[in-house]
Amino acid sequence: MTMWHPVALGADIPAGTVAPVRLHGDEVVLWRDEAGILHAWEDRCPHRGMRLSFGFVRKGRLACLYHGWQFDGEGRCRHIPAHPDLSPPGTIRARTWRADEAHGFVWLAHDGSESLPAMKDGAFTAARSIAIESARGTVAAALGIGQDPVLSRDGLICAVHAADGETTMLHVAVANPADAADAALWAQRTRDSIERGEAVAWELHL
Amino acid sequence: MFASDNDPFPDAHSRRYRIRGRFDCALFAAFTRQRAALLALRIVSLRTAPGLVEALVAGEPALLGMFEMACALGPGNCIVDDMTSEACESDRCL
Amino acid sequence: MILHDWALDDRCYAVRLGAALMGRRLTIHTTSEAAVQGPVLTGTDGTHRGPLAILDFLARDTPWRVPTTSPWVTRADEMLVTFSDLRRNALLASMPQTPNPPACRRLLRMIEDQLSAQRHAGSDWIAGPDASIVDIALFPVAALSHDLEVPHDLFPELRRFIRSFRALPGFITMPGIPEYH
């Protein structure tokens, strides 16, 4: 069975930008090409191991900051600046993850072949992705997130993922765009409550 | 050079590398195989002795250069003290 | 005006960055003293010390100035100085340092929360509707926090701020802040 994990708000990765993500400590680079297509790879250049998330997007390719090796949307190396006339062999490629988008969240899967399960998708507005210095289990329990990776409650759509063993990202979107600012503040209060070991208050508008 | 009917590298150049240093030979040999695979190079022969890895490698010259640089640095926990690299005529090398 | 400067110092960088963005010409005098005490600006108008005081002076008669009533001017000064101490400690340490120190995470969290509130109020900037000396002072904190091994996956607002800031006309880098070619 393919495990899909929500790891970011799609709105936090605009076209032409790069972002690092950690999922249970695995380092992944997310990048979106100019056409809006999202890519997820292991955050490591096959050349010398530099973080690809330090790199930048140019003409549909991700360029490593270190020596400028460029990788196309499939992860294949297409250009090596030190050897401009060389056609890089197909063996040089970044390790890819599976990525998809739904509910305004970016989802990752490491292996398996099943697609992201269909969800009741509305037009959700991203409010905030926020780091909580508590383990994922603690955060999920405090929010009442069970088997379902996404929790919909009081107009809030919440998802969580473990960056590492001690740090959890809470991703919050809203059905009503007018609620986005309050939802961002709610996320902040929720972070503070969970870190203090207090109960989560679900009032969106104070 | 290594030309034969089914040679996938008909235009390949080849170089012999002798790498001396303080390392686990098996680990270093595995590293050279990985780098060669990454760079689409063919390892024609690879032999190890304590403190020594000797590889005859064939492929695109620019990629051989990258292979050489990678081996000069080596993987973690391996110290390369000395490395020689020479172009090979196939008869003499094989 | 002469800036007593150290190229690798984050506080000095904030001043050079501010001058570049505001189009102010400074004569750079390199001195290792600036690596410890931070930037000093001298000229016919007297001597100015401390990154925010210098930036505020450079920003006179420009939209980069923030009303001194804003808590963010003092706050940004304290944050940059605190960050600078942490970073100097990490970079000059003779023994390996604990990566991602809590004190640095706290600084970044404060900036992250403020950037989120500002974004929802329609601004990309920390202290108001437009980029200001507060953003200039805190850009080095955001961009050089890699030196303390703070993982940026935890700070999406900060990443957005770094992108917006880098796009400002006149932006310059320092060692540790890459240029993209």
- A108 and A131 inside one domain: no
The residues that bridge with A99 in the sheet, in sequence order, are A108
For residue B81 the two structure tokens come to 């003290």
Q: What is the pLDDT, as a whole number, of residue A121?
A: 63
Distance between A95 CA and the closest CA of chain B, angstroms: 12
Q: What is the pLDDT, as a whole number, of residue C85?
A: 95
Share of chain A above pLDDT 70, in %: 99
C positions 55-114 inside 8 Å of A (CB): 105, 109, 112-113
Interface test with B, best of A87, A91, A93, A95 (most B CBs within 10 A): A91
In a domain, A31, yes or no: yes
Over the stretch C39-70, which tens digit does the pLDDT of each residue have?
A: 999 999 899 999 999 999 999 999 999 988 89
Q: What is the pLDDT, as a whole number, of residue B93?
A: 53
- A69 and A19 inside one domain: yes
* Chain B residue whose CA is closest to A90: B40
Q: Which chain A residues are within 8 Å of B37, Cβ to Cβ?
A: 91
C153 neighbors C100 (Cβ within 8 angstroms)? no
User: Residue B91 pLDDT > 50, yes or no?
Assistant: no
Pairs across A and B, CB distance < 8 A: 19
Average of per-residue pLDDT across A183-191 = 98
- A92 and A130 inside one domain: no
User: Residue A34 pLDDT > 60, yes or no?
Assistant: yes
> What is the complex's ipTM, to 2 decimals?
0.94
Q: How far apart are CA C162 and CA C146, in angstroms?
A: 12
Q: Which chain C residues are within 8 Å of A56, Cβ to Cβ?
A: 180
Flag if B62 and A83 touch (Cβ within 8 Å).
yes
User: Residue B3 pLDDT > 60, yes or no?
Assistant: no
Q: Which chain A residues are within 8 Å of B62, Cβ to Cβ?
A: 80, 83, 86
Q: How far apart are CA A201 and CA A48, in angstroms?
A: 47
Distance between C11 CA and the closest CA of chain A, angstroms: 23
C23 burial via Cβ count (<10 Å: 0-12, 13-18, 19+): exposed
**Low-confidence residues of chain C: pLDDT under 50:** none
Sign of CA dihedral C22, C28, C32, C34: negative
Flag if A86 and B62 touch (Cβ within 8 Å).
yes
Q: What is the pLDDT, as a whole number, of residue C7?
A: 96
Class of domain C71-166: mainly alpha
Between A22-31, A105-114, C34-43, the lowest mean confidence (pLDDT) is in A105-114
Over the stretch B16-57, which tens digit does the pLDDT of each residue have?
A: 999 999 999 999 999 999 999 999 999 999 999 999 999 999
Domain boundary residue, one of A115, A138, A170: A115
Q: Which chain B residues are within 8 Å of A50, Cβ to Cβ?
A: none
In a domain, A136, yes or no: yes
Over the stretch A85-104, which tens digit does the pLDDT of each residue have?
A: 999 999 999 999 999 998 88
Selection from A37, A1, A2 nearest residue A110 by Cα: A2
Amino acid at C133: I
Selection from A106, A200, A206, A185 nearest residue A153 by Cα: A200
HSE toward the beta carbon, residue A49, CA cutoff 13 A:
6
Q: What residue spans of B6-74 are helical by DSSP H?
A: 25-38, 61-73
Average of per-residue pLDDT across A112-136 = 88
Q: What is the pLDDT, as a whole number, of residue A1?
A: 78
Q: What is the pLDDT, as a whole number, of residue A145?
A: 92
- A106 and A132 inside one domain: no
Q: What is the pLDDT, as a whole number, of residue B90?
A: 56
User: Does residue B88 or residue A50 have the better pLDDT?
Assistant: A50
Residue boundaries of the structural domains of chain B: 13-84
Q: How far apart are CA B49 and CA A42, in angstroms?
A: 35
Flag if A21 and C153 touch (Cβ within 8 Å).
yes
3-state secondary structure of A114: coil
Distance between B62 CA and the closest CA of chain A, angstroms: 7
Q: What is the pLDDT, as a whole number, of residue B11?
A: 55
Flag if A20 and C121 touch (Cβ within 8 Å).
no
B52 neighbors B20 (Cβ within 8 angstroms)? yes
Domain that holds residue A173: 125-196
Residue A136 backbone phi and psi in degrees, to 5: -55, -40
- A10 and A37 inside one domain: yes
Q: What is the pLDDT, as a whole number, of residue A148?
A: 80
* Chain B residue whose CA is closest to A89: B40
Distance between B47 CA and the closest CA of chain A, angstroms: 24
* Chain A residue whose CA is closest to C151: A20
CATH of the domain at A73: 2.102.10.10
B4 pLDDT tier (thresholds 50, 70, 90): very low
Which architecture characterizes domain B13-84 according to CATH?
A: 2-Layer Sandwich (3.30)
Angle of helix A180-196 relative to helix A136-143, nearest 10 degrees, comes to 120
- A31 and A105 inside one domain: yes
For chain A, the domain total comes to 2
Pairs across A and C, CB distance < 8 A: 48
Count the neighbouring beta carbons within 10 Å of the beta carbon of residue C165.
Answer: 20
Terminal CA-CA length for chain C: 32
Q: Which chain C residues are within 8 Å of A184, Cβ to Cβ?
A: 116-117, 119-120
